[in-house]
Amino acid sequence: MSAMSHTEAKTVERIDQPAMLAQVEAWAAVNSGTRNLAGVARMAASLADAFAVLPGEITLVDADPVESVAADGSVSMLDHGRHLHLSVRPEAPTRMLFTGHMDTVYPVDHPFQTLTDRGDGTINGPGTADMKGGLAVMLAALSAVEASPIAPRIGYDVVINSDEETGSFSSAALLARTAQGKVAALTYEPALADGTLAGARGGTGNFSIVVRGRSAHAGRNPEDGRNAIVAAADLAVRLAKARGPRLAVNPARIDGGGPNNVVPDLAVLRVNFRPATLDDIVRAQAHIDGAVAMVAAEHEVHVSVHGGFNRPPKPIDDGAARLFELVRAAGGDLGLDIGWRATGGVCDGNNIAAAGVPVVDTMGVRGGAIHSSEEFMIVDSLAERAALSAVTVLRIAERGGL
């Protein structure tokens, strides 16, 4: 810690872990599963109150409409909760972006709704690691930075969206807008329990493909029918053939069908793609287009494709490498050994990197077992990770960039 400046040391001293823990406990008690719009609204209001300690203007931004394809092939627009946006010193020459999400994967009727202190330095509870703990880390770090004499040198935007767990479709445009002109971004997904950060990430694309055929009696005149289930199954097999070392393909579900004596006239195929590079997205899209055209022609069905590649791959380019090195050095001066590794998971860091902004997207608490009823947060990582963020931000402010 000897390499830290006096200003950095004083900034770290301001971080109040008991207050952070109380915030996490209060926030985790609010069910904010993505589709629980009332709970998400409660969470947004609570966050707006908490982040009001920072200077700048807070707005709750209406979610963009999101297309949803039902099992019957109908298309509707899905509502989402509002997103929090805070803008601080937009006129500053050096500006950063900080992002997180208020939603969790636990719906309002999920049995996992309570917190448990395990007595081993961890708490178990919905969203404690992913990412209500991360939101507390972000707020504590920014509050500490604002109390330092270096704060006027840097401006920033904070975006806390309500739909990250379902792909950030209703907040993607907001993320893209606020990323513009930023020298770097920090996102508060949880680190691994040992403190390892996520480095390079692959991308993802989710598709709902509606196949419409023609019904007929399965015994009297099956030749007059056009079997949508068979066509969808054929399409699933064809799409799976695009699989390779740099592209994972997972046909996950086929909705449709009916009585055994009726040729089914409707099927909806759900499929996920995981491309490693932008070139793999181009290749996958060409494969989808070709397979759809062939199935439509050979089975004499109508096929409509909904969805797309919503999170591009996130490579470690030169800018990201410089930011990771800055975080690593800050961690070293705090007595933390910071490492990172590539992961197949995706998050808003993918979207931010696609906007051309270097990002480290696992600046949240240390924890694990996320998206399960065993989810836990390591309590002492609250102050630890807030200090890591605060020192990182101070150094970017002093340098005027990376």
Whether 81 and 173 share a structural domain: yes
Residue 1 lies in a domain: no
Q: How far apart are the first and last CA of the chain?
A: 21
Residue 121 is given by DSSP the state: S
Last residue of a domain, one of 272, 296, 311: 311
Per-residue pLDDT at 292 exceeds 70: yes
Percent of the chain with pLDDT over 90: 99
Q: What percent of the chain has pLDDT over 70?
A: 100
Q: Is residue 72 assigned to a domain? A: yes
Tell me, what CATH number does 17's domain have? 3.40.630.10
Query: What is the arithmetic mean of pLDDT over 59-83?
Result: 97
Residue 143 lies in a domain: yes
Checking if the pLDDT of 269 tops 70, the result is yes
Judge whether residue 353 has pLDDT over 50: yes
* Residues 320, 355 within the same domain: yes
3-state class (DSSP) for residue 246: coil
Residue-wise pLDDT for 35-45, tens only, equals: 999 999 999 99
- Verify that 163 and 83 share a domain, yes or no: yes
Q: What counts of helices (H) and strands (E) characterise the chain?
A: 10, 18
Residue range 281-308: mean pLDDT, rounded:
98
pLDDT value, residue 263: 98
Element (H, E) at 160: strand 154-161
Same domain, 192 and 259: no
Residues 6+ positions from 317 with CB-CB distance below 8 Å: 358
The CATH number that applies at residue 229 is 3.30.70.360
Q: Per-residue pLDDT tens for 51-67?
A: 999 999 999 999 999 99
Closest to 222 in 3D by CA, of 211, 233, 230, 234: 230
Query: Residues 216-234: what's their mean pLDDT?
Result: 98
pLDDT band at 2 (very low <50, low <70, confident <90, very high): low
**Given this model, what pLDDT does residue 1 score?**
46
166 lies in the same domain as 279: no
Q: What is the pLDDT of residue 344?
A: 86
| DSSP, res 222 | G
Which residues touch 376 (CB under 8 Å, ≥6 apart)?
Answer: 118, 122, 123, 124, 125, 128, 129, 367, 368, 369
Q: What is the pLDDT of residue 149?
A: 97
| pLDDT digits 0-9 by tens, 365-387 | 999 999 999 999 999 999 999 99
Residue 195 sits in the same domain as residue 297:
no
Give me the helices (H) in 246-342, please.
278-299, 318-333
Domain that holds residue 196: 6-201+314-399
